[in-house]
Amino acid sequence: ALFRLLFDYGWLKGAPVYVASLDPHGALNAWDATVGAVTALAVMFLTLHLDLWPMTQSPRLMKQPLLGLVWTTGAVALGGVLYYLGTRTFGMTPPDFLVAVPVPFIFGTVVLLNMLQGSLFAGLPRPAKGVASSVAAMVLGTVLALLYRLLMPVVTGDLGSGPPTFDAELWLANALLAVTFPFLAFHGDYFQLWPLAAPGAPAAVDDDAGLAASGR
């Protein structure tokens, strides 16, 4: 439904890959819809670092379906603001913003909350714990993204960066989230993070609900 309502690929008209009958002709440029959604997801992961604070301040709010509605609405709203600032105010292209902000943060979050089970700053009180964990996720994700960029020519060969195709940016986003994240999930589910985890340590999980549990 979101694809039909939001995605428009009209900017591809004239390109060999464009097929008018497959274009849903939604309300938003497909780049805006895609990167905006990923940015909203990054905001949802931010709340996991914060152990769902400040929503936890209200017991009434922490009951479903109200929690889901408020959490989703807030993530979309804040994600939209961040995306607007990055692409409109600071003039970044959507693919550049994608691989500079939300994707590294999400990947860093997977490492901290999934692989390390939120243990890195466990001794800090809230909300300092969440702030430190969020900053660490952004720094770690950015460093890993830079490392992947350096490995790109070795793995795939040189790819062009920037318009019109943004090949390097798309490769980086897919390498971090579409390839490495499933590998980490496989490592956690089937090997319980062996040999990284101590015997008897809880297994990592591969979905948002699991991340939420590990964040708490």
- C-alpha to C-alpha distance for 43 and 190, rounded to whole angstroms: 29
3-state SS record for 33-83: HHHHHHHHHHHHHHHHHCCCCCHHHCCCCCCCCHHHHHHHHHHHHHHHHHH
Give the pLDDT band (50/70/90) at residue 210: very low
Contact indicator for 215, 48 with CB cutoff of 8 Å: yes
3-state SS record for 175-205: HHHHHHHHHHHHHHHHHCCCCCCCCCCCCCC
Structure-derived torsion over alpha carbons of residues 49, 52, 57, 58, reported in degrees to the nearest 10: 180
Structure-derived torsion over alpha carbons of residues 164, 165, 168, 173, reported in degrees to the nearest 10: 110
Top-confidence residue, 192 or 80: 80
- C-alpha to C-alpha distance for 108 and 191, rounded to whole angstroms: 21
Top-confidence residue, 99 or 180: 99
Share of the chain above pLDDT 70, in %: 91
